[in-house]
Amino acid sequence: MAKYHVDSIQEWQSFEYDGVEYDLGHLSSHLVVFKANKQDYEFVVTYGLHCFTKDDSGTNIPYRYEDGRHGQMVCLERYEASKQLRGIIERLDAATIYHTEGERFFTMSLLNSATGLLEAYKVCLAFYREHRLLRIHVTSAYFARTGEGSPGTPINKKGFSVFKVAMDTQKKPKGQCPKEVRNRPKPQK
C-alpha cells in the first residue's frame, strides 16, 4: 500500500533470478527532514529504475526489470551500491549539489563492492513539488567513470546546498517534474 500521495513507485518489488532473491526494499519511499536554522525541510524520497539497472554494463544479469515507462537489465554493481542510497540521501545536507541543464547531481567516494575500490559515485536527483509535498526523486545513481565528477574531470558548475534547492523548490509551481518520476508500476512477470 502506498505511504504517500505521490505518482512514483513507492515500493519496488523483489525479484528472483537463478535461484537468488534480489530484495529492493531498500529503495522504498521514505521521508527525510533537513533541519535549517529558520525552517526544517521535509521531503518524500522515491527512487528510479536507473538506481539498479543499466543495459550493457558489464555486470548485468540477464533479468529485465520494468517500471511503468520502460525496462532495463539489472546491473549488479548498481544494485549493490543502491543499498547505501537511503543513508546517502539522509546525509544530503552535507553534500554540494550541482545543477546542469539536464539534471541535479552530487558525487561522493563510495566503496564499490565489485572492485573493492573507493570510486566516484554520482547520484542524480529531481527536486519538485507534488500535492503540497516537497519531493526528491533519485533518477539514477552509478559509479562515474566518464563525465563531470569522474576521476580527472572536475565539476565546472556552481554548487548549492540542499537548503537553497529546497527554498527554490518551494517557490516552484506544483506539478512541474521530469518524466522519469512518473514511473507507475507494472506487474512483474
Residues 146-181 have pLDDT tens digits of 988 889 898 888 899 999 999 998 888 766 766 666
Residue at 121 is within a domain: yes
Query: Which band of pLDDT confidence, cut at 50, 70 and 90, is reported for residue 102?
Result: low
Q: Is residue 188 part of a domain?
A: no
User: Within 10 Å of residue 42's Cβ, how many Cβ atoms?
Assistant: 13
Q: Is 6 part of any domain?
A: no
Residue 138 lies inside a defined structural domain of this protein = yes
- Dist. CA 141–CA 44, nearest whole Å: 18
CA distances from 39 to 33, 34, 147, 163, 167 (A): 10, 9, 35, 9, 10
Instruction: Look at residue 97 and tell me if it is in a domain.
Output: yes
**Residues 100/105/110/112 CA torsion (nearest 10 deg):** -80
User: Does residue 53 fall inside a structural domain?
Assistant: yes
* pLDDT tens figures, 19-43: 999 999 999 999 999 999 989 999 9
**Whole-angstrom Cα distance, residue 8 to residue 29?**
9
Mean predicted confidence (pLDDT) in 90-101: 90
Q: How confident is the model at residue 49 (pLDDT cuts 50, 70, 90)?
A: very high
**pLDDT tens-place string over residues 64-74:** 999 888 899 99
Residue 172: give the domain boundaries: 26-181
Q: pTM for this one?
A: 0.90
What is the number of domains present in the chain? 1
Instruction: Answer yes or no: is 115 within a domain.
Output: yes
